[in-house]
Chains A and B, each alone.
Chain A
Amino acid sequence: MSDNTFLKVENLSVRFPIGRGLIRRAKGYVRAVNSVSFSIDRGETLGLVGESGSGKTTVGRAIVRVNDPHEGSILVDGAEVVGINASQMRPHRRKVQMVFQDPYSSLDPRQTVRQILTEPLNTHNLPLKTADGKDRVEELLSLVGLDPKFAKRYPHQFSGGQRQRIGIARALAVEPDLIICDEPISALDVSIQAQVVNLLESLKKSLGIAFLFIAHDLAVVRHISDRVAVMYLGGIVEIASSNELYENPKHPYTQALLSAVPVPDSYVEKNRKRVILTGDIPSPTNMPTGCAFHTRCPLRAKLGNPEICSTTKPGFQNVEANDGPHQVSCHFALEAK
Chain B
Amino acid sequence: MNVPLLEVSNLRVEFNSSQGHVSAVRGLSYSINEGESMALVGESGSGKSVSALALIGLLPRKTSKITAGSVKFKGEELIGLSEKGLRKIRGGSIAMIFQDPLSSLNPVLTIGAQIIEQIRAHEGTDKKSAHKRAIELLDLVGIPSANQRVDQYPHQLSGGMRQRAMIAMALSSRPSLLLADEPTTALDVTIQAQILELLANLQKELKMSLILITHDLGVVAGFTEKLTVMYAGNAVEQGLTAEVLAHPQHPYTLGLLRSIPRLDRPRTNSLEPIRGVAPDMSRIPQGCAFEPRCEFASSQCADQKPNLDLLSSNRLVACWHPQGSTSKSEGAKI
Q: A residues near B, CB below 8 A?
A: 51-52, 159, 161-162, 189-195, 197-198, 201, 216, 218-220, 222-223, 242-243, 246, 256-270, 274, 276-278, 280-281
Query: Do B189 and A266 have beta carbons less than 8 Å apart?
Result: no
Could you give 15 example pairs across A and B, Cβ below 8 Å?
Answer: A52-B188, A190-B215, A192-B273, A193-B259, A194-B274, A195-B273, A243-B267, A258-B263, A259-B193, A263-B262, A264-B220, A269-B218, A269-B222, A274-B193, A278-B194
Given A52-B188, A219-B262, A280-B160: A264 touches B193 (CB 8 Å cut-off): no
Cβ-defined contact, A194 with B260, below 8 A: yes
**CB of B103 within 8 Å of the partner chain:** no
Query: Measured between alpha carbons, how far is A196 from B194 in the docked complex, in Å?
Result: 31
Count residues of chain B with CB under 8 A from any CB of chain A. Answer: 46
Among A193, A218, A266, contact of B245 (Cβ-Cβ < 8 Å): A266
| CB 8 Å contact bits of B200-222 with A (1 = contact, 0 = none) | 00000000000000011111111
| Contact yes or no, A276 B193, CB < 8 A | yes
Q: Quick check: A264 and B188 within 8 Å, CB to CB?
A: no
A162 to B277 alpha-carbon distance, docked (Å) = 10
Q: A189-B43, A191-B274, A262-B221 are in contact. Are A218 and B188 (CB under 8 A)?
A: no
With A193-B259, A193-B260, A243-B267 given, can you name 15 additional A-B contacts, CB distance below 8 Å? Answer: A190-B256, A190-B260, A192-B277, A195-B273, A220-B261, A223-B267, A260-B189, A261-B189, A262-B193, A262-B218, A262-B221, A263-B221, A264-B217, A265-B264, A268-B264
B246 touches A218 (CB 8 A): no
How far apart are the CA atoms of A52 and B160 in the complex, in Å?
12
Asked if A219 contacts B263 (CB within 8 A), the reply is: yes
Chain B: CB-nearest residue to A158: B277
A contact residues around B146 at 8 Å (CB): none
Contacts of B257 in A (CB 8 A): 264
Question: Using Cβ atoms and an 8 Å threshold, which residues of chain B touch A246?
Answer: 263
Q: In this assembly, does B241 line the interface, its C-beta being within 8 Å of a C-beta of chain A?
A: yes
Interface assignment of B145: CB less than 8 Å from any CB of chain A: no
Most buried by B among A189, A194, A264, A270: A264
One of B194, B197, B223, B246 near A265 (C-beta < 8 A): B246
A190 to chain B, nearest CB (A): 6
The distance from the CB of B237 to the nearest CB of chain A, in whole angstroms, is: 14
Check B190–A277 contact: CB distance below 8 A. Answer: yes
Of B222, B242, B278, chain A has the most CB atoms within 10 Å of the CB of: B222
